[in-house]
Amino acid sequence: MTEIGKVGIVGLGAMGAGIAQLSVEAGVETVGREVTAELGEQARDRIGHFLTRKVEKGVLEAAARDAAMSRLTLTTELEELGGCDLVIEAIVEELEPKRDLFAELDRIVSPEAVLATNTSALSVTEIAAATSRPERVVGMHFFNPAPLMPLVEIVRAELTEDEPFDAAFAFGERIGKTPIRCFDTPGFVVNRVLIPLLNDCIRVLDESRVSPEDLDKGLKHGAGWPMGPCALVDLVGIDVHVHASEALYEKTREQRMAPPARLVAMRNAGLLGRKSGRGFYRYDD
């Protein structure tokens, strides 16, 4: 099995920075690539902020925080990822940019390196097809926020071989996640179940003329959900949910996958949930 001694993260937005944080905390040398040095520094600051909060809460020693931060190297050049044993892509959730990136990484990294995409809804097989080594491409779908959510789906594409698949699974365990194995089907496991279920919940808002507050109370106290569907969609981001729903509907043509008109209208109005300060609820923090 490939020994993962050095990891590259392409894209240091919310997901990429969270994955980088997990990697450096686990003792892994990590190279984070962003398109500008400023964006890279912003990501480093976010990682440092979250690790400092852990120190303040007494769950991490200051020396361990400093050691973790020292393992993070920033770059704007893809070529700097050439020595990585695993490269995880966390860029925009669009197929062509991902395929273009994987074609570039294919040229840069060693033939033994594992290439992984963090896509939540796109086909890992189609992304892998942009490379000359699709057998070494896997999906590693982390959930947001990556440092807190325990799950990572390890996705086998059509041509993925056992060794890189097992290496990605082992890396998920190494960084403290609970990995599960699955195949490259639309939505993988969690989103294949959760997205149509959330869409059903949102449609009930109009059909039953129930308030978001009461719908959330119903699912929390009647079905044991830790968070109501409206609050969950606000947390995920209404734009993110709509995008994932559209991608799944395109693949499956199942009506339950299509985003409800109410969510599309909210997305178009800029009501994106927590990230915009308003979705089904208002947020002041």
Q: Convert the pLDDT of each residue in 117-173 to its tens digit.
A: 999 989 999 999 999 999 999 999 999 889 999 999 999 999 999 999 999 999 999
Q: What is the mean pLDDT of residues 194-199?
A: 97
Instruction: Give the tens place of pLDDT for each residue, 99-116.
Output: 999 999 999 999 999 999
Instruction: Give the tens place of pLDDT for each residue, 247-261.
Output: 999 999 999 999 999
Q: Tell the CATH topology of 190-274.
A: N-(1-d-carboxylethyl)-l-norvaline Dehydrogenase; domain 2 (1.10.1040)
To the query of whether residue 120 is one of the catalytic residues in this protein, the response is yes
CB atoms under 10 Å from CB of 37, counted, come to 11
State pTM to two decimals.
0.92
Domain spans in the chain, listed from the N-terminal domain onward:
6-183, 190-274
**Options 25, 34, 89, 153, the catalytic residue:** 153
Alpha-carbon distance of 31 to 24, in angstroms, equals 10
Instruction: Give the tens place of pLDDT for each residue, 50-102.
Output: 999 999 999 999 999 999 999 999 999 999 999 999 999 999 999 999 999 99
To the query of whether residue 141 is one of the catalytic residues in this protein, the response is yes
Amino acid 94: pLDDT = 92
Amino acid 26: pLDDT = 97
Amino acid 285: pLDDT = 67
The type of residue at 233 is: V
Alpha-carbon distance of 68 to 161, in angstroms, equals 32
Q: What is the bridge-based pairing of β-strands 72-75 and 29-33?
A: parallel
6-183 to CATH, choices 3.90.1170.50, 3.30.2130.10, 3.40.50.720, 3.40.50.2300: 3.40.50.720
To the query of whether residue 153 is one of the catalytic residues in this protein, the response is yes
**Options 141, 199, 241, 245, the catalytic residue:** 141
Alpha-carbon distance of 99 to 266, in angstroms, equals 30
**Options 23, 25, 89, 120, the catalytic residue:** 120
**Options 23, 118, 123, 191, the catalytic residue:** 191
% of the chain at pLDDT higher than 70:
100
To the query of whether residue 144 is one of the catalytic residues in this protein, the response is no
Instruction: Give the tens place of pLDDT for each residue, 42-53.
Output: 999 999 999 999
